[in-house]
Structures are given as structure tokens and as C-alpha cells.
Structure 1
Amino acid sequence: MAQFNNWCLSLDEHVGQHVRRVITGQAASLDVGIQATAAIIPGHYASEEQVARALARLGKPAAAALIQSKLPTTKQIRSGDLGEIYATEWIDAHSGGYRAPIKRLRWKDHRNMAMRGDDVIGILQDPQTQRLHFLKTEAKSRATLTAQVLTEARAGLDKDGGKPSAHALSFISARLLEMGSLPLADAIDDAILKHGIPVQSVRHLLFTFSGNAPDALLTNALQAYPGPINQWGVGLRVEGHATFIGAIYDRVITNGNNT
């Protein structure tokens, strides 16, 4: 996990019926954040089984090379990937039961290309009915967050009537089948093909990772939303955004070579 509580302070505020959370990296603890994030990044780009197999067959240098070959090399793609990684980690640890069932970046077309489609979809399964609830997520990472960026995120969240797209859900289902997670894959297929997805079973997460304060921007974005879907606005702020990202990816490479 990204262990946000070990290097950040969080502050929640209600904005109408919605919730805004600002998570601020503490200057004295940023190295904790760098280490915690670097530890989880390899698993977002390659499965544990793939890395273990490379290690067993070819040794430590090859396993390290495998991970490094999957890491983006451009600042822009690293920033975008890390925004998605942090959104995924926040969902798994802090969303009250939703889980991101796959780590989407493992299926990138190229390490220096962004993924297409819905950024992240969190899923919560009702233990009584087995029906699914969805957390449709747009993640944005910028050194300087602007209202225009949040407008772009809102457009993504509002696509397909505010619901996760059938294409994105089918992608998740197919990957779960490959991983042997048949019950959840079947539940997703049932939601797409049998039951449909009522808007009441959807929630939105607007997740930002930026160097500047997201407080007012997120508040304005939540206040401006006129629709029926409950919203979370979560902003992770780290001063020295670009330097922080560079240090994380450098640490991943160092860790791989030293393991």
C-alpha cells in the first residue's frame, strides 16, 4: 500500500452531499512516501508471478531489467501513471470497501503511452444480493492543477451517462478470467449483460495529484456538478511534484538493482 497516513495529513470537508478530501504530503516525511511508493510500483506494471519467474529462471539482473523495461521514461507519462497508481491505492485502502480488481497499467500498449478508457474502476459486491456497486474514477496528475484539468476529468466521469463503460468493464472481466477470479468476472458480466447498471449503484471519484493546493478547485468542481451521482473529490498535494515523481522512479530502479 502507499501508506498515505505515514507521510501525509488528511482533511475532509462536506460539499453539499459530496465529500472533499485533501491529502497533503508532509515535507519531513516525503522520503517515507518515496520509499512506500517505490515499493508498490513494480506490482502495478508487472505481476508478482511474472517477476518471480524471471528471477527464478534468469536471475536478479534479468528480473530488474524486466521491471525497468516497463517503467515509463518520460516525465508526462510517469506523472499520469503515478496519479492512476495513487488513485488505485487510495481506493483499496480508504474508500470504505471498494477494490480496484486489476492493476490496469500491466496491460499498457507501450510504457511511454497513456492507457485509454476509464482510469480506474472500484468495485464493491453486496454480500447479500451479490450485485455490484461501482466507483468510476478519473485521475489527474499535474504540477499545477487548474480548473480546466478538472473540467476534462468531469467530462470523463460524465461519459456513458456517468456509468462505467461496458468496454472498460469487459476489459476488467476478461483480465479477471485470465487470473482465475471467475466469480467476480461473472458478476461483472451479469451487470453488463443481465441486470444493467442502475445509476444508484455508481459513485464518482475525482482524484488529483498536484504540486499546488487542490482545495478550492475541488470544492468548485463538486459544487458545479448538477447530476444525481454521489461524488468524492480527493486531492493529493506534494510540493515539488516533479522532483518527487523523479525520486520515486529512481528509487524503483535502485531497489531493483539492489534486491
Structure 2
Amino acid sequence: MPLYWDWCVCAEEVTGRKRLWLLTEKAGGREQIWALLLETVRTHYDHLDRIAADAARLGYEKAAEILRTRMPTDERARSGDFGEILASELAEDTLGFRIPVKRLRFKDGRNMALRGDDFIGVVVAEGSQLRLLKGESKSRQELAKPAITEGREALNRDDGRCTPESLLFVADRLLDSNDPADQALGRALRDEIGQKSLPPGRIDHMLFTLSGNAPPPSLKADLDGAGSDRSQYSVNLCVPDHGEFIGTVFVEAAKLGNA
């Protein structure tokens, strides 16, 4: 967990297939992971090798301008995107899922919210069995029950399966790859859309929340009430200076080299 373990401490509660993770920043943790965090944010909007090629060809400032064109300027859009970024990184770092498509690279307006599942994780388990992670993220200065309820409703939509449009988007991007393994995974995802063969036990759910306040009791109550036929993960990362922190992250992530 290269980002989170140096940054946060985690209190965990486990009941059967349900896990509640409460993350808080360590003293000095933010400073320790700052450079990695900025790089991570950049990767969700563009390929690092393309950014480097822009810088070599045009210089740092013009390359930074290209990157800024992709990144949101609106406070609410930044908050939502940042929640998705942190949720995706946590899912990959801790659960063994691969988030094969960084969907923020495909926004058709930098301040617009993307529709569909916030993040989808995939893994091919032993015996070539496909397993999926359906994820929702909520980022709020003051996290309260309505946002948690909204996230749970999204997870339960489509009988708890990844929404077909979101899964097809991931599948198509994998089929565009030159990697035969990616192409095979893309075909497997398209098959799942058509066949709906995965049982609930192989479609995990994660509700990730980023907030300026400590998580309300409704977060645990929501997890307690969630279905027990699949693995359920509820996460809160508490960052007291939520809005200021997110704003600073985006301003600094849009700077390159000596720009």
C-alpha cells in the first residue's frame, strides 16, 4: 500500500465478509507522500510518458498547460475526481484488484462528472475465474447520511452488478490495447455483459468516502445493512482541511518541473 501506509493509520472492523476501514492521517504522513500523491493525480489524467514527451518537445510550462486542460478547475469537480482517484488507488493497493482503465482521462469536459460506476476493479482468480469490484466514492467536507445512502443505492443498482455501460466502456478500452492479455480480459468482460453469469459472491462492493469530518454513525449502519452475499468494503478517509487540501493538490499537480 505504497501511498496509504506511509500516509495514514487504519482502524479496521471485520464482520464476516464486511470490512469497515477508518483512515486518518499520520503526523507528518502527508509530507512523506506528497510527491507520490501529485504524480498519482497526474496519472489519472494522462500517461506520464506523454507528459514527459510534451515537456521534452515544448518545455515544462507548455506541457503543464496541456495537463491543466484535462484537470478540473471547479471545486466540486475536483472533490469528486479526487475521491475517485483515492478510491481507485486504495482498491488496487489493498484488495488485489486491477483498475484497468483510468476513466478520468476520457472526460469530455474537465468540470463535468462522468456517468456510471465510479471505478471498476477486475481480477482473474485461480482457475481463470473472473472477479469484479463495483465501487462508488463520495467526497464531502461534511459527510452525512444522504451521501452514504446515495452511494449505497448506486452500488445496489442493476442487481448489484457493474452497470453494463460502465463495464462495456472498460471492455472496449482493453480491446483497444495491443496486449493479448488485455484483449482477452476485454472479451471476458463483454461476455459477462451478455451472459450475466457472475454470482453476487464474485462481485464485491466498495463505498469509499473522503471527508473533512469524522464518519457519521450512518456509515457503519449502512455497512451493517448491506447484503452479506458478497464482500463489502466501506472506507472513510478523514482529512480535516478537506477543501483546502484538495485545492492545493490540484494546483501543485498541474505544475511540472520548473514551471
Q: TM-score, normalised by structure 1?
A: 0.91
2:35 is paired with a residue whose SS is helix
Q: Residue 101 of structure 1 corresponds to which residue in structure 2?
A: 100
Structure 1 stretches of 4+ with a deviation exceeding 4 A read: none
1:258 is paired with a residue whose SS is coil
Q: CA deviation at 1:36?
A: 2.6
Q: Residue 161 of structure 1 corresponds to which residue in structure 2?
A: 159
Q: Residue 245 of structure 1 corresponds to which residue in structure 2?
A: 246
How many pairs does the alignment contain? 256
Map 1:136-151 onto structure 2 (within 5 A).
136-151=134-149
Q: Residue 132 of structure 2 corresponds to which residue in structure 1?
A: 134
| Greater mean alpha carbon deviation, residues 151-160 or residues 188-197 | 188-197
2:28 is paired with a residue whose SS is helix
1:99 is paired with a residue whose SS is coil
Q: CA deviation at 1:48?
A: 2.9
Deviations 1:212-233 (CA, angstroms, capped at 9, x unpaired): 1126332111112246332111
Distance 1:227 1:6 in 2: 32
Label 1:247 to 1:33 Cα distance change in 2 as closer, same or farther (>3 A).
farther
> Contact 1:136/1:163 (CA < 8 Å) preserved in 2?
yes
Distance 1:17 1:210 in 2: 25
Q: Residue 119 of structure 1 corresponds to which residue in structure 2?
A: 118
Q: TM-score, normalised by structure 2?
A: 0.91
1:3 and 2:27 matched: no
Deviations 1:111-161 (CA, angstroms, capped at 9, x unpaired): 111111000011111232x23111100000001100110000011000000
> Contact 1:18/1:222 (CA < 8 Å) preserved in 2?
yes
What residue identity is the alignment partner of 2:158? D
Distance 1:74 1:195 in 2: 38
Label 1:94 to 1:33 Cα distance change in 2 as closer, same or farther (>3 A).
same
> Contact 2:74/2:111 (CA < 8 Å) preserved in 1?
yes
Distance 2:233 2:189 in 1: 23
Distance 1:62 1:178 in 2: 29
> Contact 1:200/1:229 (CA < 8 Å) preserved in 2?
yes
| Greater mean alpha carbon deviation, residues 166-175 or residues 220-229 | 220-229
Deviations 1:169-218 (CA, angstroms, capped at 9, x unpaired): 11001111223221211221222234622222111001011111126332
Q: CA deviation at 1:17?
A: 3.9
Q: Percent identity?
A: 35
Q: CA deviation at 1:257?
A: 4.7
Q: Residue 36 of structure 1 corresponds to which residue in structure 2?
A: 36
Give ranges in structure 2 of 5+ residues lacking alignment: none
> Contact 2:144/2:216 (CA < 8 Å) preserved in 1?
no
| Greater mean alpha carbon deviation, residues 202-211 or residues 35-44 | 35-44
Distance 1:194 1:55 in 2: 46
2:112 is paired with a residue whose SS is coil
Distance 2:52 2:193 in 1: 35
RMSD over aligned CA atoms reads 1.9
What residue identity is the alignment partner of 2:110? R
Q: Residue 64 of structure 1 corresponds to which residue in structure 2?
A: 64
Q: Residue 110 of structure 1 corresponds to which residue in structure 2?
A: 109
What residue identity is the alignment partner of 2:252? R
Q: Residue 220 of structure 1 corresponds to which residue in structure 2?
A: 221
